[in-house]
Homo-oligomer: A and B are copies of this chain.
């Protein structure tokens, strides 16, 4: 079994990756949680629930108090209304401070279930069981959040899971679009910090259909290890952790302006990465071989240009709402070269010109 340890200031935990972990959830809770568990609330969504909830519950038969709640699948569920509903469910089920919330699903479930756990009675334990490739990213680092109409992930907390149980077999049911959404974060990790990993990806991953269980576990554990290293160095995102936002300033803006859920997170991020690469070449004396990057990602079906119908003015305004913005100046993650990223305050005019050109 592959495992990656994640160290943060106040808390360490392990990400376990293996085929069939979902049937042994209870065993792993007993192994990894130090304090007794009074009750469990499994939060899942309408796509994942029908596929895997039964398996997970069968593995929890040793616990007396196990409750479940299902949210509609999709980014729209990361709303204030759904958040309040989940808190109501938690109260109605009688969850207390010794209870545990299990997030069974992708990034959306992890984000909202994590924020419920972070804020319920000022914080109770939670366990992540990611079911998508994308969730490998959000399950490391403890960033949990919900959306606001004026911006994505605007309300949230830093709340680390007790343990992450990654059943690689659950990834078998992903659609190509979901693959694309998750793979964007994987290649991003190579681009910002690890050129050899990026080159290994370009060589090894030619199509999503050709990824078998072993290649999957290798890809996930390497990508998680990069994320874990960054997070351990900078839990609260004061420094190096900001680099993980490569492609996200524009990516989030595209998601927000087009309406959450119209374009997947990862697909928006890839467009944002191409934009950041172009800006990097414009501002630095560097050559990133953008055409070869574009050709590679297009072979997976990614779009690389900003959709024509999105107003550049609205995109710029949305970019200014980015959490990295300081005193009105947009701070972009750019690449000095492949594997070497940096944070740069960029003039609004320069960004707007490049938005209009593309």
Contact = CB atoms under 8 A, between A and B. Distances in A.
B156 A122 contact: yes
Given A87-B148, A122-B145, 17 more contacts: A38-B327, A87-B155, A88-B150, A91-B150, A91-B151, A92-B150, A97-B323, A97-B324, A98-B327, A119-B155, A120-B155, A121-B154, A121-B156, A122-B156, A122-B237, A123-B158, A123-B236
A150 B87 CA distance: 10
Interface of A: 9-10, 38-39, 80, 84, 87-88, 91-92, 94, 96-98, 118-123, 143, 145, 148, 150-151, 154-158, 236-237, 320-321, 323-328
Contacts of A98: 326-327
A145 B326 CA distance: 27
Nearest to A37: B327
A141 to B, nearest CB: 11
A91 B154 contact: yes
Nearest to A320: B94
A236 B124 CA distance: 11
A122 B141 CA distance: 13
A118 B118 CA distance: 11
* Copies of the polypeptide in the assembly: 2
A238 to B, nearest CB: 9
A109 B80 CA distance: 20
A326 B80 contact: no
A96 B148 contact: no
A122 B143 CA distance: 8
A4 B41 CA distance: 41
From A119, A143, A154, A155, residue with most partner B Cβ within 10 Å: A155
Contact of A325 (B96, B151, B326, B328): B96
A247 B328 CA distance: 48
Nearest to A92: B150
20 contacts: A9-B10, A39-B327, A80-B84, A87-B148, A87-B154, A87-B155, A88-B148, A91-B150, A91-B154, A92-B150, A96-B323, A96-B325, A96-B327, A118-B157, A120-B154, A121-B156, A122-B145, A123-B158, A123-B236, A157-B157
Contact of A91 (B97, B118, B143, B321): B321
Nearest to A327: B38
A210 to B, nearest CB: 38
A143 B323 CA distance: 24
Nearest to A38: B327
A81 to B, nearest CB: 9
